[in-house]
Amino acid sequence: MSENLCLSVRDLSIAFHSGGRRMLAVDRVSFDIVKGECTALVGESGSGKSATALSVLRLLPYPAASHPSGQILFHGRDLLQLSERDMRKVRGDDITIVFQEPMTSLNPLHTIEKQIGEILLLHRGLTGAPARARTLEVLTQVGIPDPEIRLKSYPHQLSGGQRQRVMIAMALANEPDLLIADEPTTALDVTVQAQIIALLKDIQARLGMSLLFITHDLGIVRKIAQRVCVMKSGNIVEQGAVERVFAAPQHAYTRALLAAEPRPDPAPPQPNAPVVLQTDQLRVWFPITRGLMRKVVGHVKACDGLSIALRKGETLGVVGESGSGKSTLGRAILRLISSEGPIVFMGHNLQGLRFKEMRPFRRDMQIVFQDPYGSLSPRMSVAEIIKEGLTVHHPHLPERERDRRVVQALIDVGLDPATRFRFPHEFSGGQRQRIAVARALVLEPSFIVLDEPTSALDMLIQAQMVDLLRDLQKRHNLTYLFISHDLRVVAALASRLLVMRHGQVVEAGEAAELFRNPKTDYTRALFAAAFKLETAPEGVVAQ
Amino acid sequence: MDVKTLVEDKVPPQIEPGVPPELKPDLEPAGPLGLAGLPLGFEFSPLNVRRWRNFRANRRGFWSLWLFLILFVVSLCAEFIANDKPLFIHFDGKSYFPVFVTYPDTEFGDDLGTAADYRDPHLQNFLAEHSATVIWAPIRFSYNTINDNPPSAFPSKPTWLLNAADCDFAAKNGYAKCGTLEYNWLGTDDQGRDVLARLIYGFRISVLFGLALTIVSSIIGVAAGAVQGYFGGWTDLLFQRFIEIWTSVPELYLLLIISSVLVPGFFVLLGILLLFSWVRLVGLVRAEFLRGRNFEYIQAARALGVSNAVIMFRHLLPNAMVATMTFLPFIMSSSVMTLTALDFLGFGLPPGSASLGELLSQGKANVQAPWLGLTGFFTVALMLSLLIFIGEAVRDAFDPRKTFA
């Protein structure tokens, strides 16, 4: 092994066993991580990138997982052959990991000091004042403001970005040789994502450690990595220096990934089309109650005086960081949560209508949710899921006609109608999202709320989804309310844009104009983070 | 291990191997019956096929289920196994079915006009003289038949345990001679009734009672939990406080008081026990509904305009059913136990009815007759163990981590 190699993975295979069957998830991959460099593993979900990274720390669910072949050489030792005891010494000390989900990777019952202190105690035997000093040092390193105060904080008192910083602080505490970052920014806002990427890049350069970065986002790879391995179906199809791979991709799959940017071709604004939906000073306030008598002491203003107007055939993109009230707006318009202020839909005020009175309108206004796994009932076949709306709104339709419409909706969203008797779990994420769109479409609505419909999908699938939505809009003259924090997707679809923060409109206007010429710092920060992964000056966006 | 053989069954590309396998979606293309893709209803969904396989994988639970079902079906036919009436009599060119029809003894040469007592030696002699064909059940005692020819004072030993001393004693004291005895496989109780016959009938009534109580209280409990969890807010708050007060009532004492006022019977007891047993599932189902009502597919159904009742029934109930099904065998075993306990204390089924609790209390009162207590103990222990084993297997079967593995 040459001197400047940090980690060398040789012919690594990973197999999962379940119920007597064995599936090969990773098939003889080899790659090296050079000391002080960042290597990125890129690929769609299911490509085996996370399994590869986890097997470096032997964190896979053994014995359900096994390694039919391969070596992972670290400091001349094969990690796969180490005893569990020796392995524990490596974990958290020489090699550390930061996971995707900052909400669940910290123990909610321990303070920040205790969580970071634990790893110091385990590997260095530090307690008391030295441990605290080191904890403060790493918290400062990862840019947590007021680290002394934060020592006593519990995870729920921190924002998502701060939690991820604490996770990174934990990973840095023992000055590891290798930090594995398993999609550390996927669950974060674009603005926070830019901050975390900048932080990782900075720390890696400062401490001279190696970084193994797992992601499905090529934009991040270009920003942070020196070397990249592109994975597909358990194989590394291409690896090399980032500049080389981006400039001259060899493999067809890499080229497809690079071309997977959503094609910007939004529906033009229709200033003369009839107004489909209009709200006037729409408010969604959640009361904060205190004390025994539940006295209302204040309100969380999720939506605070939003006035929007949406014309036929347009797409209104709603963007903003998380907690800005974009999803609340969508649900309030569909009257899935209660709100105040008129909601005028095709000339009828929906505000105050009872559940039954709402029903005739529901046929014309539909919603597609973010999570393709959560939004389909796992116990119903696809046909049943799509048919449900028809049963409610066209109860007298003959069964054959219903089936015909289900088939038509599936064809519309590009799925094979023969698959309609299968259950959702037999479909991939992108296919499920298509089913969710088909469920909305089958009622032939004129207005659809799209609540982050692409953010749970892989890049390639995202681009396809955007094409599908645009195509459907043209064919059926649909009106969309498109909610997303992913500005690249919004740019591809929205004819007009609404930038939200803290439940209020920061900026609104025609999308093309707004993208060209943002007026406020907040909007500019959002755009910079989304398109260039650049951080904004402090105070403009949430940390 | 040879890598080449593994390549063939490579993972389909849409599966994320980073997820531990227990969280992965079901990879199986279709159930082993090949019917999974067809809209044949709930039974054949791949999920349930997999559950059934998990259930079977727990061998102990699987065999417990079979054993329990066999015992239950056998005890359902108790009248054909242990009865003081013959199953069939062919006599004088006519066929009689005493199991189903009560015939007056005038049919068989007597003149009292009362219901025929087929164990009466008189009647038996008459039938023998007329060379009638008589088919008896294997055990010629019903649960309330008194053995008129015992080898000793009641309770008398299982017949096969009688030794020479017992026979001498019987001969000297005017009891039935050893050679002429009818077999009491498990002896008789202190009123001269055959223990095995009582056991079969007692088992049946225990299981039926347990089943009935479990089903009815589950229906009520699931409905109550569903309403609370789905609507939440004030409904939930008031209902929860009510349940807290209700469950703090000392159950057993109240049961004793009520059953000493009302004339106890199968349905009265069922009603009384129901008063308290329905709460057991409420918390569980409520939690499932509370969790489930925020799922996106519930939101999607609401956005489609599906009514609350349909959402609860079609979308949320199946989620809650997993928890419910897992609990059912345990609820059933505790129902059986409660009935046995009440019977043991004498507040259960009316006197004279076959009941395991009464058998146990006789065992306690007659320590010199260990066959009573031991029979009761082993029967109850076997029944409850089987139910618990089945419950464990059901729990395995519905374990989401195993189901989706």
For B83-97, give the DSSP string: -SS-SEEEETTEEE-
In 10 A of CB B98, how many CB atoms? 20
CB atoms within 10 A of CB A128: 8
Give the tens place of pLDDT for each residue, A423-450.
Answer: 887 788 888 888 999 999 898 899 999 9
What are residue A340's DSSP bridge partners?
Answer: A283
Q: Quick check: A46 pLDDT over 80?
A: no
Q: Indicate which of B10, B53, B399, B401 best probes the interface with A, i.e. most A CBs within 10 Å of its own CB.
A: B10
How many Cβ atoms from other residues are within 10 Å of residue A81's Cβ? 10
Average pLDDT of the segment spanning B348-366: 87
Q: Cα Rg for chain B, rounded, in angstroms?
A: 28
Q: Supply the mean pLDDT for chain B.
A: 81
**Average of per-residue pLDDT across A89-95:** 88
Q: Is the pLDDT of residue B63 over 90?
A: yes
Integer angstrom CA distances of residue B244 from A138, A265, B231, B273: 49, 60, 19, 17
Residue B286 touches chain A, beta carbons under 8 Å = no
**A406-429 in b/e burial notation, b at 16+ Cβ within 10 A?**
bbebbebbbbebebbebbbbbbbb
Rounded distance between C-alpha atoms, residue A47 and residue B321, angstroms: 35
pLDDT above 50: residue B8:
no
The beta-carbon neighbor of A421 closest among B2, B37, B404 is: B37
φ, ψ for residue A34, nearest 5 deg: -80, 145
Buried b (16+ CB within 10 A) or exposed e, B58-97: beebbebbeebeebbeebeebbebbbbbbbebebeeeebe
Q: What is the residue-wise DSSP string for B295-355?
A: SHHHHHHHHTT--HHHIIIIIIHHHHHHHHHHHHHHHHHHHHHHHHHHHHHT-SSPTTS--
Residue type, A206: R
Instruction: Tell me how long chain B is.
Output: 405
Contacts of B37 in chain A (CB under 8 A): 421-422
Report which of A360, A542, A348, A319 is spatially closest to residue A451, judged by C-alpha positions: A319
Task: Answer yes or no: do B13 and A44 touch at CB < 8 A.
Answer: yes
Is B320:B288 a contact under the CB 8 Å cutoff?
Answer: yes
Extract the runs of DSSP E, i.e. beta strands, from A360-478. 365-368, 447-451
How much is the pLDDT for B377? Answer: 93
CA distances from A281 to A287, A310, A477, A523 (A): 18, 15, 27, 22
Mean pLDDT of A481-508: 88
The whole-number pLDDT of residue A480 equals 92
- A432 touching B, CB under 8 A? no
Whether B41 and chain A come into contact, CB under 8 Å, resolves to no
Residues of A in contact with B404 (CB under 8 A): 425
* Average pLDDT along chain A: 86
Average pLDDT over residues A336-355: 87
User: In angstroms, what separates the C-alpha of B241 from chain A's closest C-alpha?
Assistant: 16
* Prediction ipTM score: 0.73
- The answer to whether residues B225 and B284 touch, using CB atoms and an 8 Å cutoff, is yes
- Spatial neighbors of B41 by CB under 8 A, at least 6 apart, are none
pLDDT at B31: 36
A483 pLDDT more than 80? yes
* Distances A241 to A34, A229, A248 between C-alpha atoms, Å: 12, 9, 11
Res B24: pLDDT: 37
Are the Cβ atoms of A182 and B18 closer than 8 angstroms? yes
Cβ–Cβ of A376/B297 closer than 8 Å?
yes
Cβ of B17 within 8 Å of Cβ of A46? The answer is yes
For CA atoms A150, A154, A158, A161, give the dihedral sign: positive
- Considering only the beta carbons, identify the residue of B37, B296, B305 that sits closest to A393: B305
User: What value does the mean pLDDT take over residues A478-501?
Assistant: 89
The pLDDT value recorded for residue B389 is 92
Selected for mutation to probe chain B from A425, A433, A452, A483 (highest B CB count within 10 Å) is A425
pLDDT above 70 as % of chain A: 97
If one compares B383 and B179, the residue with the highest pLDDT of the two is B383
pLDDT score, position A230: 92
Return the C-alpha torsion angle A149, A151, A154, A156, nearest 10. 60
Decide if pLDDT at B92 tops 60.
yes
Q: What pLDDT is stored for residue B319 in this prediction?
A: 77
Q: Number of helices and strands (H, E) in chain A?
A: 19, 23
Cβ(A287)–Cβ(A443) below 8 Å? no
pLDDT computed for residue A19 by the predictor: 66
Residue recorded with tokens 């797992």: A214
Residues of A with CB below 8 A from B27's CB?
18, 21, 23
Cβ–Cβ of B22/A24 closer than 8 Å?
Answer: no
Distance CA A351, CA A339 (A): 8
- Which is more confidently placed, A178 or A379? A178
Chain B residues with CB inside 8 Å of A379's CB?
45, 47, 318
% of chain A beyond a pLDDT of 90 = 14
**Is B14's CB within 8 Å of A25's CB?**
no
Specify whether the CB–CB gap between A436 and A396 falls below 8 A: no
Average pLDDT over residues A377-399: 87
Nearest to B10 among A17, A18, A23 (CB): A23
Q: Which residues of B149-167 are buried (b: 16+ CB within 10 A; e: fewer)?
A: ebbbebbbbbbeebeeebb
Interface contact A49-B20, CB threshold 8 A: no
Give residue A543's pLDDT: 61
Contact B18 A51 (CB under 8 A): yes
Residue A391 pLDDT > 70: yes
Distance CA A467, CA A433 (A): 13
Q: What is the mean pLDDT of residues B251-269?
A: 82
pLDDT of A20 > 80? The answer is: no
State the pLDDT at residue B109.
Answer: 75
Q: Is residue B20's pLDDT more than 80?
A: no
Nearest to A379 among B53, B302, B318 (CB): B318
Residue B32 has pLDDT above 70, yes or no: no
Q: Please answer yes or no on whether B16 and A367 come within 8 Å at the CB atom.
A: no
| Cβ within 8 Å, pair A45-B14 | yes
Task: For chains A and B, count residue pairs whose Cβ atoms are closer than 8 Å.
Answer: 167
Q: What percent of chain B has pLDDT over 70?
A: 87
Top pLDDT among B199 and A539 is at B199
B204: three-class secondary structure by DSSP: helix
Q: Residue B279: is its pLDDT beyond 80?
A: yes
Predicted confidence (pLDDT) at residue B3 exceeds the cutoff of 70: no
Q: How close A345 comes to chain B (CA, Å)?
A: 15
Question: Does residue A22 belong to the interface with chain B, where contact is any CB pair within 8 Å?
Answer: yes
Q: In which band, very low, low, confident or very high, does the pLDDT at B44 lie, cut at 50, 70 and 90?
A: low
Q: A423 and B16 in contact by Cβ < 8 A?
A: no
The per-residue DSSP string of B139-173 comes to: B---TT-B-SS-SSSSSPPPGGG--HHHHHHHHHT
Span A464-479, mean pLDDT?
90
pLDDT at position B383: 92
Residue A525: name the closest of A543, A537, A509, A511 by CA.
A537
Q: Closest-CA residue in chain A for B2?
A: A68
Q: State mean pLDDT over A328-338.
A: 88
Please determine, for residue A540, whether its predicted confidence score (pLDDT) is greater than 80: no
Question: In the structure, what pLDDT confidence band is assigned to residue B73 with cuts at 50, 70 and 90?
Answer: very high
Residue burial B290-321, b: 16+ Cβ < 10 Å; e: rest: bebbebbbbbbbbbbbbeeeebbebbbbbbbb
A510 CA to chain B: closest CA distance, Å?
29
Q: How far apart are CA B175 and CA A501, in angstroms?
A: 98
CB-CB under 8 Å, A369 with B300: yes
Beta bridge partners of A501: A504
Q: Are the beta carbons of A455 and A401 closer than 8 angstroms?
A: no
Instruction: Say yes or no: A366 contacts chain B, CB-CB below 8 A.
Output: yes
Segment of A348-357, B96-105, B158-167, B206-215 carrying the highest mean pLDDT: B206-215
Q: Is the pLDDT of residue B313 over 80?
A: yes
Give the span between the Cα atoms of B90 and B113, in whole angstroms.
Answer: 20
Give the Cα separation of A425 and B46 in Å (integer): 10
Give the Å distances, CA to CA, from B158 to A147, B136, B195. 82, 21, 9
Cβ of residue B193 closer than 8 Å to a chain A Cβ = no
Given a cut of 80, whether residue A372 has pLDDT beyond it is no
Q: How far is CA B3 from CA A478, B9, B110, in A?
A: 51, 11, 88
Q: The whole model's pTM is what?
A: 0.73
**Residue with more model confidence, B267 or B48:** B267
**Mean pLDDT to the nearest integer, B105-128:** 82
